[in-house]
Structure 1
Amino acid sequence: MFARVLAPLAVASSFFTCVVPTVSATPTSPFDLFSRTPAAGIDVKSLAPYLSATAKIYLPDTKEFATYTTRWSNLQAPTPSIVIAPGTEKDVQKIVKFANDRNIPFLTYNGHHGTLTTLGKMDYGIEIYLPQLNSISIAKDGKSATIGGGANVKNLTDTPWDAGKQTVTGCCECVSYLGPALGGGHGWFQGHYGLITDQFLSMNIVLANGDFRTIDSKSDLWWGMQGAGHNFGVVTSVTTKVYDIEHYDWAIETIVFSGDKIEQVYEAANKYILQGGKQSADIHDWTYWQNDARYDTEGPVIIIYIVQEGVTTVDAKYTAPFHDIGPLAATPQSGTYKDLAKWTGIALESPPCQDFGFNNPRFPIYIKSYNVTAQRKAWDLYSSAVAEADNPYYNSIFMFEDYASGAVRDRSSDASAFGFRDAHTLAAPLIIYNSTGQAQDEAVKELGTQLREIIREGTGSSELHTYVNYAYGDEGPGAWYGHEDWRQKKLKALKRKYDPKGKFSFYAPIA
């Protein structure tokens, strides 16, 4: 038992007990759902004997606790009191039951890139840290794989690929596999197969009451788990479809423009990439607006990545229209699927996978095509807000992620809780800054919201459609999951049935 609890010998007198600060016994907001006992304690000693030999418990003031509670974004981050790393799936069930018996909040971590401000409502409790559950087992028939709840994108990129298989995953290597999937989940293969969640065949899940279940499409909960899954349980493993590799060759061309080319770049993207929704399943483009000292320009530059599967050079029918605009630079590269994260700056060693202690809120919006007038208006505001090396927002990025999406739309819009299958592009300003306090946080919120509103106005829709995994936190359930009355009623009914006490209400809560 002692071997699985990591804490300095100096705290031996309180080896199994972590006492949290005195807190109010009354909920203080709609998300503050747990009544509190003043000076409540988390008595780890009573839990430890029931966990597996590989489970680990980390107390405050240890290096491991500090490492495993660190967030990628510090804006309204959760503040757990203790970290428990389950060694088996059943450990998760025991932790949840332990927490429920003592009315202690809990929150599951795997990776740390969720930035919703609703997470900050967790101001004490148990962090369930999943990365030990990172197994990947490909079935003998080669058509499915069982993935542990602690696997990350790098795991799911390399292991199946090395076995001649591929499946839909997120793109950033350090992000968890299941976190994005429970909110739908975008990836390079979605044009062929659909969203990450569309691949799922079954899952093991610990429900709010501590029950451990295996569910599939026969369960009424299955619909809700595919798009709003953070609200219903801890997924400890999932069985998902995998596919034979079709093409080993991949290519990218990185093209850089000055800001005066905004209209021409996005007119070309609409015409030659998006093609009115007829985009080929093998072609993708991302654009980033960001400062880059390598280029002698006033303010940020536009960087477009054009990615193609099954070739060693991106087809000129996609790149030539952008060359004709007059870029500052154009750089072709070739390799395999495993090179994509490095090429696009989201590999394990890339800056987005490092913890610099910044606040990193995003303000996502789905769009069907680029309104070039709105793009110009947003560019003018964004570039004026982030330009100059001494600007506190200098390292910010405005992202436009356009994946092939035909197979996403092939599935009916009512087939899952993911509500935005008709979208083609995911846009999001990401404001990166070292916060000086609440006043600056509010100013950033105003800037990000204003940028997003410009893009929304350009869509002609009064509704805001967001990607829940990028969300700021104040958009609300309609924007996160879809505005239809029937959809919201169905989600709320599932919430009442499976989580009536709101145990899973720190991440984009349904109600």
Structure 2
Amino acid sequence: MTPRTSLPDAALTGLRSGFAGEVHAPGDPGYDEARTVFNSMIDRRPAVVAQCASEADVARALALARDRELEVAVRGGGHSVAGMALSEGGLVIDLRRMRGVSVDRDARSARVGGGAVMSDLDRATQPHSLATTGGRVSTTGVGGFTLGGGSGWLERKFGLACDNLLAADVVTADGGTVRASADENPELFWALHGGGGNFGVVTSLTLRLHDLPAMSMVMVLFRPENGPEAVRTYRDVMATAPDEAGGACIYITGPPEEWVPEALVGRLVCAALITFAGTEAEARDVAAPLLALDPEAAVIDTVPYADLQCMLDDPPGMRNYWSAEYLSGFPDEAVAAFCADAATMPVPTNTQHVLFPMGGAVARGPADYPLPWRSSPWAVHPFGVWESEADDERVRRWVRGVRATMMPWANGAVYLNFIGREGQERVMAGFGEDAYERLSRVKARFDPDNVFHLNHNVKPAVAMV
């Protein structure tokens, strides 16, 4: 398809007629806001942004794309690091007006609009003392997060987000609407457990909720020279921790918070975080070996889950570049390599060098989903976030360097929500070869022309070479 920068007035008028949402084209007052995404490095100019308010709006927008041969992008939270929510000269189906959340307390479930972000879900479930695994950033879109697998603080207790997917409503490339659940379109339902947005526009999801009467956290800070001991201790703590415990070891720039010593603000620090689906006393017990290391600072508190979800939020307008490696093990040699990479991390920036513990309900989840990384015990996630264009190359070089350093312990699998465009080989590593073939057959049924290809793409079986 040939990129376009504008559409004829008649085409825009036709789309706007009877459209419940709003349509933005170049020159419209809301156009620039409508095409702004999380990663400020992405600057694309769609021919039209259709901010849909209903499934009918989605179908109308897809019809225009077919008629005008426009490339289609789908936007939920807009958090794709590669900017997959935008098409240069194409049509964007923007779901942000479809972000309602309805909680059924008795059924322990929530129906979530396709444009909802994590804070919409978390704030709706919190008054009921219910929750489900969500992303670690409150502005992440629930739809893309869940369809890609969904890794978060509660995963060791409640499983991945997609493990809690009960049903989804999907508008397909031809404008039809289908429902996917264990009883309806079961192959599509299977594909939505990690297969991403390859099969249509998911306009709503029904998610299983779990009782969460209390959420606690322990965060301790160490100087970088004490980082290796802290990381080793964290590794050993999580090896025997209950499923309620999650968290991460994170090298960060010391933030200007009251509890952070002034000498650490703006400097590299090693933070060990224990999140706990339970009481402060229980969290403190798990974190006891870390507290015994005499950290430079510590925060121990019971915190509402929705507030915890905001803790790592980055300010808007930042530049982003991320990647990940999933590990078969994390021996002392890997700890040393991880900490050595931290020493070269660009500071001060909002960049994070993250080690996530896996296991628990993640590893026990359904083995047939297209998520080969779920059996990994550890994940390393170099998360580049910075402000100045002048730092672009050094941050990207550092992220790629972390991947290379971790390669001796990597198992080759990868959570695709954590990476950008890294080639078809990495896409295959995210799904697994056998699962990819099954996904491609589902794709051939629901999107034979690969209309939905601005993602970690699965090609329809009939188009495979």
Give the match's secondary structure for 1:431: strand
Paired residue for 1:411? 365
1:442 Cα offset (Å): 5.1
Q: TM-score, normalised by structure 2?
A: 0.88
Where in structure 2 are the equivalents of 1:247-396 lying within 5 Å?
247-275=212-240, 279-292=241-254, 294=261, 296=263, 300-342=268-310, 344-346=311-313, 352=314, 354-356=315-317, 358-387=318-347, 394-396=349-351
- After superposition, what is the alpha-carbon deviation per residue over 1:279-308, rounded to whole angstroms, capped at 9, x for unaligned? 412111222212227453695110111122
Contact 1:116/1:508 (<8 A) preserved: no
Instruction: Determine which of 340, 346, 354 is the counterpart of 1:399.
Output: 354
Paired residue for 2:409? 458
CA spacing shift, 1:230–1:268, aligned 2, 3 Å: same
Give, in whole Å, the separation in 1 of the partners of 2:268 and 2:428.
Answer: 30
Paired residue for 1:237? 204
1:427 Cα offset (Å): 2.1
Where in structure 2 are the equivalents of 1:435-450 lying within 5 Å?
436=389, 441=392, 443-450=394-401
Contact 1:251/1:308 (<8 A) preserved: yes
Paired residue for 1:473? 421
Q: Name the % identity.
A: 20
**Is 1:97 matched with 2:63?**
yes
CA spacing shift, 1:176–1:362, aligned 2, 3 Å: same
AA at the equivalent of 2:142? Y
Equivalent pairs, count: 450
Give, in whole Å, the separation in 2 of the partners of 1:255 and 1:64.
Answer: 43
Paired residue for 1:16? none
Contact 1:273/1:285 (<8 A) preserved: no
- After superposition, what is the alpha-carbon deviation per residue over 1:19-67, rounded to whole angstroms, capped at 9, x for unaligned? xxxxxxxxxxxxxxx2457976472111222323xx1112334442222
- After superposition, what is the alpha-carbon deviation per residue over 1:321-367, rounded to whole angstroms, capped at 9, x for unaligned? 1123231112212233233124x333xxxxx1x322x3211011223
Paired residue for 1:12? none
Give, in whole Å, the separation in 2 of the partners of 1:119 and 1:92.
Answer: 15
Contact 1:492/1:510 (<8 A) preserved: yes
Contact 2:150/2:160 (<8 A) preserved: yes
CA spacing shift, 1:481–1:100, aligned 2, 3 Å: farther
Give the match's secondary structure for 2:145: helix
Paired residue for 1:70? 36
Give the match's secondary structure for 1:228: coil
Contact 2:117/2:138 (<8 A) preserved: yes
Give, in whole Å, the separation in 1 of the partners of 2:223 and 2:113.
Answer: 44
Give, in whole Å, the separation in 2 of the partners of 1:479 and 1:125.
Answer: 24
Contact 1:143/1:241 (<8 A) preserved: yes
CA spacing shift, 1:490–1:442, aligned 2, 3 Å: farther
Paired residue for 2:386? 433
1:95 Cα offset (Å): 1.0
Q: TM-score, normalised by structure 1?
A: 0.80
- 5+ residue gaps, structure 2: 256-260, 460-465
Give the match's secondary structure for 2:251: strand
AA at the equivalent of 1:431? G
Contact 2:131/2:209 (<8 A) preserved: yes
Contact 1:418/1:481 (<8 A) preserved: no
**Is 1:224 matched with 2:191?**
yes
Give, in whole Å, the separation in 1 of the partners of 2:203 and 2:429.
Answer: 23
- 5+ residue gaps, structure 1: 1-33, 347-351
1:119 Cα offset (Å): 6.2
Contact 2:194/2:431 (<8 A) preserved: no
Give, in whole Å, the separation in 1 of the partners of 2:71 and 2:356.
Answer: 35
Give, in whole Å, the separation in 2 of the partners of 1:310 and 1:493.
Answer: 43
CA spacing shift, 1:455–1:141, aligned 2, 3 Å: same
AA at the equivalent of 1:448? V
Give, in whole Å, the separation in 2 of the partners of 1:140 and 1:380.
Answer: 48
- After superposition, what is the alpha-carbon deviation per residue over 1:246-299, rounded to whole angstroms, capped at 9, x for unaligned? x42222111001112232122212221133xxx412111222212227453695
Give, in whole Å, the separation in 2 of the partners of 1:371 and 1:79.
Answer: 47
Give the match's secondary structure for 1:420: helix
Contact 2:195/2:431 (<8 A) preserved: no
